[in-house]
Amino acid sequence: MKIEFSSPLSNVENIIDSLKNKEGSLLPILHAIQKEVGYIAPQAIERIAIKLKQTPAEIHGVISFYHQFRTSPPAKYKIQICRAEACQSRGSRQLEVHAKSFLNIDYHQMTSDKKFSLDSVYCLGNCATGPNIRINDDLYGRISNEKFEQVLSNVDRELK
């Protein structure tokens, strides 16, 4: 399959070619493609398989083993809730329940409007201000259920 130069996958060939000869190249290739494109498209899986002389099923097996790899475009806002001990002791479990109910999704899912996805993370390195969440690259602390809703409303308004 040919990848169009102007498509988001146009740099996939370059990424694969630049890393394919390194020992254990599959994970670095997958990370680089996801960083560049935001996800690993089926066309990219096919190209990786051909260039690494593996089957698409083998590549997909690695992708599905690591939950941080995506095979579809990401949500506009990626929400991560910290599940480390310090955040749990400060209410992150209750926040998880509220977030899932408020967004009407479970972990590793995306809202129907593709605006929010929800994932767990084990320690955001901000234990003194738990429970913590991260939305894309921004960290928020002392998140109550009410503050969660407020933060989501504000980030969506700010980035429009």
77-158: CATH number: 3.40.30.10
Q: Mind giving me the DSSP string for 96-142? A: HHHHHHHHT--TTEE-TTSSEEEEEES--S-GGG-S-EEETTEEE-S
Q: What is the CA radius of gyration of the chain?
A: 18
Tokens standing for 41? 């498209």
Does the annotation place 25 within a ligand binding site? no
- For residue range 56-82, list pLDDT tens digits in order: 999 999 999 998 898 988 899 999 999
pLDDT at 159 over 50: yes
Q: pLDDT higher for 122 or 1?
A: 122
Does the annotation place 87 within a ligand binding site? yes
Does the annotation place 43 within a ligand binding site? no
> What's the CA gap between 119 and 113, in Å, rounded?
17
Full-prediction pTM beyond 0.75?
no
- For residue range 72-109, list pLDDT tens digits in order: 888 999 999 999 999 999 999 999 999 999 999 999 89
Residue 142 region by backbone torsions, left for phi larger than 0, else alpha for psi between -120 and 50, else beta: left
Give residue 23's Cα distance to chain centre.
Answer: 25
